[in-house]
Structure 1
Amino acid sequence: MSDLIDTRTPLELSHLPAQFVGREAEQDTLTDAFGVEGESRLQNFHVYGPRGTGKTHLLQRFLTTFPPTFTTCYLSGIHQNTQYKSLERLYHLLTGTTLGTGHHVADIQRKVEEQVTLPTVIVVDEVDFLLLNDGDDLLYYLTRLENTAVITVSANRRSLEEPLDERTYSSFHPQHLTLNEYTANAARQILADRARKALQPQSLQRAALTYITATTQNISIGITWLREAAETADDRITRDLVQNVEVTAYHEFVKSLLNEFTTHHRRLYNTIARLEQERGPLLTTGTVYSEYSKRCETAGVAPLSERRISDFLTHLELLDLIEATYYRGGRKGKTREIKLVDWNSRSDSEETS
């Protein structure tokens, strides 16, 4: 660990701060709606905000404010990306035990329903990944449970009315909460607080912090960038240093996102990055799949099917790592042109696997 870093924890993306700068209004909205400081109420909510706006931390902290007479559960649509996986996880959170194999979805639904004996609040984070599969069925089931509130969280959709079946949305019928991107000033306060807790005094130059927060208000990128600079610095984090590690810091951020997924996701992203470096942006899915297959062959692993890789490209879109333009026509009906999401001063891609 760098000599500048006293304690690494505040520089980790998973660190849950005690206070949320710039999110007081959103905290108040949730508190007022649920009445957690007095007589608690149950409300369905849909929370939207671009990546790096603090949605996950806000909801995780909010769940801790409920009294012991409530049950709270947190599901991640990335890890629990099917109804079956979500119900398994929910059962484990409610009982502390793990179900054996071979259960039908209806059986697990019944077992979960039997365990909902207290008022229950369920957060379904990264709901978009669930909606690629059978998330609609899961939400219909959850919103029909007695004495239960459901809070969905999305970085891509302001509303779930369009992707959900009419009966599901009617059952859900959420209130809406939007988290806008942080201002540069709020981002500066957040990173300055992290730096005070993690770094030696006077080790962060104000101009360095200003450069980071003027470039990005995505707090996840900002924290990763600050940590990369701290690990690289000899005696002080300067503006020149943060400029020098800018691209490396972005790749570290990408790596942290893709670590939640499979090796094939990382290989696919690297394939796109390498092709874009060699041929420029606007790559077709066919070109990407052909090159991905070659990289698999070189690595001595079997490539996944085109259909599966198409799903993985959608995952990269939802992570805001690639942009895709869809076109009708062609031999297989619909195709898309792909390019990496622009990043300031991006240079040659580095491997993230």
Structure 2
Amino acid sequence: MEDILDEIFERVVESRIFRNRDILSPDYIPEKLPHRENEIRKVGSVLAQALKNSRPNNLFIYGLTGTGKTAVTLYVLRRLEAKARQLGVDVRYAYVNTRQRDTPYKVLADIASSIGLRVPFTGLSTAEVYTRLVRALSRRSGVLIVVLDEVDWLVRRKGDDILYKLTRIGYELPAGSTKVSIVGITNDVKFVEMLDARVRSSLGEEEVVFPPYNAEQLRDILWERAREAFQPGAVDEAVISYCAALAAREHGDARRALDLLRVAGEMAERENAPRVTVEHVKKAWMQLERDRVYEVVSTLPLHARLVLLAVIKAAGTGYTTTGELYTVYRELASRIGVESVTQRRISDIINELDMLGILSARVVSRGRYGKTRMISLAADPGTIIEALARDTRLRQLLEDAPLPPKREQLIGSAGA
């Protein structure tokens, strides 16, 4: 056993593939951000007002996943903070990923922590934490920029009350105290439509839209990272171009491209291969796709998972319509004792699952009978069923009623 582990350890330590694997991490902020010069300029010009000890306008940044929103924001803020130190100006920022810190309490606690105010993990009301934060800010001067990443996640689950308070916090602070600016980041280009008009007007003082990358831009981004991340000769043009082409097909997602290249490198390393090949990329793509589908389905709200289960029951290996799906969905909801939502809401859920690539919903003409939506699974059925079966209530529904013949085998592996 020791010999086996020694071999594994040596393969990583003396890797023929990686020089610095961390450079391919989505959290890594490089010195250069290719093809985001315009966005850096826009974000920088808004936030630069802090260098004059003025409150920058609130900023709303949106675009699809993997378009560089977070990287550009943090890149600008780090440079801004460094410049402020040179000028003797007190500029700080608080970065909060609201998908991970998914309650108003946690968000406020993280903001408080950024200015040195300690808040207990639990035990206080959210209102009390907010009061303490306002009190601490009133005793300080300078500028605090609060970044709320994936802010749509928080608002969908907890409403936009905390967002409204933060965008209006300046009205509760006396003159001469900390000036607070909010930067909201979201992957959902339609998110602003969900907000209360007052929040929308406060948060959307300035807006920056990040377009998706094309294959050529993704190739440049990958080469920029690959030169530092891999050993010389471990990757070639064919591998980089293939990763870029696959990610460009997925809405120009740079994060996806980097993950793909990293996982392909890990597979080559485990095989003790001398270099990463296109075959490694293909294997990595299959693994990442399965992991993505599993993670997305596992974290969906209950009614969205019921919709997926209804599609499996109603469509089998083919298609179902919205009406048929809704009938099956209501029956499933009733069987686990939850109140069903309206057909309009189910229609919205179908659209969301379609955007996520889990379902395919296309409108077809039925001649004089009008148009209808044909709905089917767009991701691997086995992975979807495995993720649904994590919930004991849904697992029971999967086992109780027979599925179409080609899917019954998948249940056994999901329940195992």
What TM-score results when the alignment is normalised by the length of structure 1?
0.75
CA pair 48-100 structure 1, distance change in 2 beyond 3 A: closer
Q: What residue is the counterpart of 2:261 in the other structure?
A: 226
Contact 2:359 2:377 in 1 (8 A): yes
Give the equivalent residue in structure 2 for 1:127. 151
- Length, aligned pairs only: 326
Structure 1 residues 338 and 102: alpha-carbon distance in aligned structure 2, compared to 1, 3 A threshold: farther
Q: CA-to-partner distance for each residue in 1:310-347, whole Å, 9 max, x for gaps?
A: 99x79x8599353587xxxxxxxxxx9976566xxx79
Q: In the alignment, which of 24, 43, 57 is matched to residue 37 of structure 2? A: 24
Cα 1:338–1:137 change in 2 (3 A) is: farther
Note if contact 1:83-1:135 (Cα within 8 Å) is conserved in structure 2: no
Higher alpha-carbon Rg? 2
* Percent of matched pairs sharing the same residue: 23
- Which moves more between the two structures, 163-172 or 42-51? 163-172
Provide the rounded CA distance (Å) in 2 between the counterparts of 1:340 and 1:3: 40
Q: 2:59 aligns with which of 26, 38, 45?
A: 45
Distance 2:51 2:186 in 1: 28
CA distance in 2, matches of 1:238, 1:289: 48
After TM superposition, the structure 1 stretch with the greater mean CA deviation from structure 2, 87-96 or 202-211, is 87-96
The farther-off stretch of 169-178 and 148-157 is: 169-178
Q: Partner residue of 1:155?
A: 187
Structure 1 CA distance for aligned equivalents of residues 31 and 360 of structure 2 = 38
Alpha-carbon distance change, 169 to 13 in structure 1, aligned in 2, over 3 angstroms: closer
Q: Which whole-Å CA distance do the structure 2 matches of 1:264 and 1:164 have between them?
A: 20
1:34 equivalent in structure 2: 47
Within 5 Å, give how 1:159-198 maps onto structure 2.
160=192, 162-198=193-229
Q: Secondary structure at the match of 1:186?
A: helix
**Root mean square deviation, CA, Å:** 4.1
Report 1 or 2 for greater relative contact order, CA contacts < 8 Å, sequence distance ≥ 6: 1
Report how far residue 237 of structure 1 moved.
2.1
2:98 is the alignment partner of 1:84: no
Paired with 1:85 and 1:307, the residues of 2 have a C-alpha distance of 31
Question: What is the correspondence of 1:248-259 to structure 2 with a 5 Å cutoff?
Answer: 248-253=287-292
Letter in 2 for 1:73: A
Shift of residue 58, structure 1, vs aligned partner: 1.6
For the 8 Å contact 2:53–2:143, the answer to whether it is kept is no
Change (3 A) 1:285 1:59: farther
1:279 is matched with which residue?
Answer: 317
Judging changes above 3 Å, is the alpha-carbon distance between structure 1 residues 113 and 128 closer, same or farther for their aligned structure 2 residues? same
1:80 and 1:86 in contact (8 A); partners too: yes
- How far is the alpha carbon of 1:3 from its aligned partner? 3.2
Instruction: Establish whether residue 322 from structure 1 lines up as the match of residue 351 from structure 2.
Output: no
Structure 1 residue 252, shift from structure 2 partner: 4.2
Q: Distance in 2 between matches of 1:88 and 1:337?
A: 46
3-state SS of 1:35 partner: helix
Query: Is the CA contact 2:163–2:199 (under 8 Å) kept in the aligned structure 1?
Result: yes
Matched AA of 2:125: H
For each residue in 1:106-152, what CA deviation from the matched residue of structure 2 results, as whole angstroms up to 9, or x when unmatched? 21111111222231111111111111133411111111112211111
Residue 190 (structure 1) shift: 1.1
Q: State the partner residue of 2:411.
A: none
Q: Report what 2:365 is aligned to.
A: none
1:237 maps to amino acid? V
Equivalents in 1 of 2:104, 2:234: separation in Å? Answer: 48
Cα pair distance change 1:304/1:225, threshold 3 Å: farther
Q: Which runs of 5+ in 2 are unaligned?
A: 1-11, 171-178, 362-372, 391-416
Q: Is the 8 A contact 1:82 1:135 kept in 2?
A: no
Tell me, which stretches of 5 or more residues in structure 1 are unaligned? 295-302, 326-335
Tell me the distance in 2 between the aligned counterparts of 1:143 and 1:54.
Answer: 24
Pick the aligned partner of 1:207 from 210, 215, 238: 238
Q: What's the counterpart of residue 237 of structure 1?
A: 276
For the 8 Å contact 2:222–2:258, the answer to whether it is kept is yes
Task: Kindly indicate whether the alpha-carbon contact (under 8 Å) linking 1:95 and 1:115 is maintained by their aligned counterparts in 2.
Answer: no
Mark the CA change 1:119 to 1:322 in structure 2 (over 3 Å): closer, same or farther: same
Structure 1 window deviating more from structure 2 (229-238 vs 244-253): it is: 244-253
- Distance in 2 separating the partners of 1:113 and 1:258: 37
CA contact (8 A) 2:358 2:378 kept: yes
User: Match for residue 139 of structure 1?
Assistant: 163
Indicate conservation of the 8 Å contact 2:63/2:188, yes or no. Answer: yes
Larger helix fraction of residues: 2
1:98 to 116, 119, 122: 119
Q: Secondary structure of the equivalent of 1:84? A: helix
Change (3 A) 1:13 1:179: same
CA deviations on 1:29-82 (whole Å, 9 max, x unpaired) are 111122269535411111011011111222222221222501211112212323
- In structure 2, do the counterparts of structure 1 residues 288 and 78 end up closer, same or farther at CA, with 3 Å as the change threshold? farther
Conserved 8 A contact 2:60-2:204: no
Deviation at 1:202, TM superposition (A): 1.3
Give 1:152's aligned amino acid: G
CA shift in 2, pair 1:75/1:38, >3 Å:
closer
In structure 2, what residue type is equivalent to 1:59?
T
After the TM superposition, which of the residue ranges 103-112 and 136-145 deviates more from structure 2? 103-112
Taking a change above 3 Å as real, the CA distance of residues 85 and 290 of structure 1, as seen in their structure-2 partners, is: farther
Aligned equivalent of 2:400: none
Q: Give, in whole Å, the separation in 2 of the partners of 1:70 and 1:37.
A: 7
Q: Is the 8 A contact 1:47 1:177 kept in 2?
A: yes
With normalisation by structure 2, the TM-score equals 0.65
